[in-house]
Chains A and B, each alone.
Chain A
Amino acid sequence: NAGVTQTPKFQVLKTGQSMTLQCAQDMNHNSMYWYRQDPGMGLRLIYYSASEGTTDKGEVPNGYNVSRLNKREFSLRLESAAPSQTSVYFCASSEINGGADTQYFGPGTRLTVL
């Protein structure tokens, strides 16, 4: 079991470039999430997908789009990268367990926008 995997691990972009961050999970979880982590800000939810075929905005969705490709994969796209999107991005997945929402995180993608 690999758990949650993310690619790439590191990326440097120039302002205005686009890219897609990939995430996959092999735990047969229904829900998947994208967070960004900035110093002193904790983890902030960008988008989530409660189940295959659905996506919803989180706390900080501006400048991002997502695609739930199938039950395993959930991608995050930056159409026109800005320096404010320099951050560490984490993907997570969960299966409802008695009403709890135990989330399992990937190793992260470190993105720098110049």
Chain B
Amino acid sequence: GENVEQHPSTLSVQEGDSAVIKCTYSDSASNYFPWYKQELGKGPQLIIDIRSNVGEKKDQRIAVTLNKTAKHFSLHITETQPEDSAVYFCAASIPNSGYSTLTFGKGTMLLVSP
């Protein structure tokens, strides 16, 4: 099955700095790569996603890049703010006859200090 590795496990930055979280996946058939943000005591929420036919996608301060050859994808957050502090999860999805399941990385705790 699919295996997703995520690094780093914790990341501390100063407000205004950029943060980068990296993930690698094992199965070249994976074609969908979402990123989730989980705040304390809440369920994960989708913040951005990318499909295998796209190399980069941006949404305001958040961007995701995908390198299919190397089988890795990254989340970039610019101009970080204290409210960006949370746990971030990457995931990879393999399509299967009209439905698919996600395999998640182990998460990165991002701490943004004022």
Query: How far in angstroms is the closest Cβ of chain B from A24?
Result: 14
Are the C-beta atoms of B104 and A33 separated by less than 8 Å? no
Main secondary structure of the interface of B (DSSP, over half): strand
Query: How far in angstroms is the closest Cβ of chain A from B50?
Result: 9
Contact digits for A30-45, partner B, Cβ 8 Å, 1 yes 0 no: 1101000000111111
A47 CA / B85 CA spacing, docked (Å): 30
CB neighbors of A among B87-108 (8 A): 89, 93, 95, 98-107
A96 interface hit (Cβ, 8 Å): yes
| A-B contacts, 23 listed (Cβ < 8 Å) | A4-B43, A30-B99, A33-B101, A40-B9, A42-B104, A42-B107, A43-B89, A43-B104, A45-B102, A48-B101, A50-B99, A58-B101, A90-B44, A92-B43, A99-B31, A99-B95, A100-B34, A100-B51, A100-B93, A101-B34, A103-B46, A105-B43, A107-B42
Known: A58-B101, A102-B49. A41 touches B106 (CB 8 A): yes
Are the C-beta atoms of B99 and A98 separated by less than 8 Å? no
Listed in ascending order, the chain B residues whose CB lies under 8 Å from chain A are 1, 6, 9, 31-32, 34, 36, 41-46, 49, 51, 89, 93, 95, 98-107
- Size category of the A interface is 20 to 34
Are the C-beta atoms of A108 and B106 separated by less than 8 Å? no
Listed in ascending order, the chain A residues whose CB lies under 8 Å from chain B are 4, 30-31, 33, 40-45, 48, 50-51, 58-59, 90, 92, 96, 98-108
Q: Which residue of A lies closest to B107 (CB)?
A: A42
